[in-house]
Amino acid sequence: MILRSKIPLRISLNGGGTDVDPYCEKFGGVVVSSAINKYVYASLEERKDKKIKIISLDYNQIISFDIKKKLAITGNLKLIKAIIKFLGPFKNGFNLSIHCDAPTGSGLGTSGSLGSMLVLLLSKYKKKNITKFKAAEIALKIEREVVGISGGKQDQYAGLFGGFNKLSFKNGYGCKIKRLKIPNSFIDELNYNCLLIYTKKNHYSNDLLSEQVKRYKKNPNNTIGSLHKMKRINDKLLNHIKNQNIFKIGKFIDFTWNLKKRVNPLVTTKKIDDLYSNLKKVGVTGGKILGAGGGGYMLIILPFYKKNAAIKIVKKYKMEVTDFSFEKEGIKIWSINKKLINQNTKKYFL
């Protein structure tokens, strides 16, 4: 049998940055986010020997090692190696294949989603039942304390649960989740009036968030004030969603995008600002760069009949519009008999 899994990526509507320490540790963070139909995938096939092979299809990288030897968390694919080491030992080796619908640095939470998915998948492989909450906590702990990647706390949770959620964080790696009850018709309508733009410039969230921490320590009043306000007005966003007012949701995101730029000016670039300015001229009510910023994907909200005008502007900037929809489901794990996949050969290779 082969175990497979997929976990949706996410977009954050507000609060990104409040889930980053040291602010989150002291004041708590609140993020409103939704899963989307872009995924991280994994396939796990048990081997008959004692070797583990990791295959990154996106980066054309293959790493093999013996499960009896000490695994060093260095070089490529460190997060994957760290999770395997943490959850080991394993009785037998396995092939683990990974790929994703979005590139690293896209702002959609790829590494955080990958971490949580692997913790849950490998636990299932070892026939150990853990909750989604526990999987997210383990993934966060490994990413922050073992691999040393800085970042927020929303990514490890959003994809596991799917849908629209209000995520609340305090000390440590725990999270309180409030599922937002939104009619399917309004989710479809919101989707109809959104565009997802790929800027073709990937960012390094570790560097960008390190800059936020530096600004927090150097000029706490300005940074803390903006983060406080971002968190405090979350209820306004929730009311706009409850009242199904897309125009006000767009205006809200426009306002908080400016707040986020005050927290860390590196979340944007001159090209992105120019693009956004021209998009507003044709009717975009609000938008923001997703994730840590500096590139990746941008979400914009606009009347659906303005989409063609907006797309023309996006193309002038040599960027792309990406199809997407909001995803109600969270992580999925299933098994498949490899004989059903390929009946013409005796072996099936990931």
Average model confidence (pLDDT) across the chain: 91
What does the angle CA 333 – CA 337 – CA 339 come to, to the nearest 5 degrees?
150
Query: How are beta strands 94-100 and 29-46 bridged, if at all?
Result: antiparallel
Taking the C-alpha atoms of residue 173 and residue 25, their distance in angstroms, rounded to an integer, is 10
3-class DSSP state for residue 263? helix
Burial 84-118 (b: 16+ CB within 10 A, else e): bbebeeeeebbbbbbebbbebbbbbbbbbbbbbbb
Q: Would you state the structure tokens that stand for residue 70, as one six-digit string?
A: 């000490």
Beta-carbon contacts of residue 180 (< 8 Å; ≥ 6 apart)? 32, 163, 164, 165, 166, 238, 241
Taking the C-alpha atoms of residue 290 and residue 280, their distance in angstroms, rounded to an integer, is 18
> pLDDT tens digit string along 246-266?
999 999 999 999 998 888 888
> pLDDT tens digit string along 312-328?
999 999 999 999 999 99
**Strand runs (DSSP E) across 252-331, as ranges?**
286-289, 297-301, 320-322
Beta-carbon contacts of residue 265 (< 8 Å; ≥ 6 apart)? none
Burial tier of 145 (Cβ tally within 10 Å: 0-12, 13-18, 19+): exposed
* Cβ–Cβ < 8 Å for 162, 329: yes
pLDDT, mean of residues 104-118: 93
For the cut 90, the answer to whether the pLDDT of residue 275 exceeds it is yes
pLDDT, mean of residues 212-224: 68
DSSP assignment of 144-170: IIIS-----SSHHHHHHH-SEEEEEE-
Query: How are beta strands 94-100 and 51-56 bridged, if at all?
Result: parallel
pLDDT for position 339: 77
> pLDDT tens digit string along 144-170?
999 998 889 999 999 999 999 999 998
Most confident of 114-123, 214-223, 293-302, 341-350: 114-123
Burial tier of 70 (Cβ tally within 10 Å: 0-12, 13-18, 19+): exposed
Taking the C-alpha atoms of residue 67 and residue 109, their distance in angstroms, rounded to an integer, is 29
Taking the C-alpha atoms of residue 50 and residue 92, their distance in angstroms, rounded to an integer, is 5
Domain range list for the chain: 2-180+329-341, 184-322
Identify which of 153, 161, 191 has the alpha carbon closest to the alpha carbon of residue 178: 161
* Cβ–Cβ < 8 Å for 34, 84: no
Token match 């960008």: residue?
208
Token match 């706009």: residue?
240
Taking the C-alpha atoms of residue 17 and residue 309, their distance in angstroms, rounded to an integer, is 32
Question: Phi, psi at residue 224, to the nearest 5°?
Answer: -65, -40
Give the predicted TM-score (pTM) of the model. 0.92
Confidence of residue 15 (pLDDT cuts 50, 70, 90): very high
Burial tier of 208 (Cβ tally within 10 Å: 0-12, 13-18, 19+): buried
For domain 2-180+329-341, give the fold.
Ribosomal Protein S5; domain 2 (3.30.230)
For domain 184-322, give the fold.
Alpha-Beta Plaits (3.30.70)
Three-state SS string over 91-130 comes to: CCCEEEEEEECCCCCCCCCHHHHHHHHHHHHHHHHCCCCC
3-class DSSP state for residue 273? helix
Identify which of 286, 293, 241, 254 has the alpha carbon closest to the alpha carbon of residue 272: 293
Burial tier of 294 (Cβ tally within 10 Å: 0-12, 13-18, 19+): buried
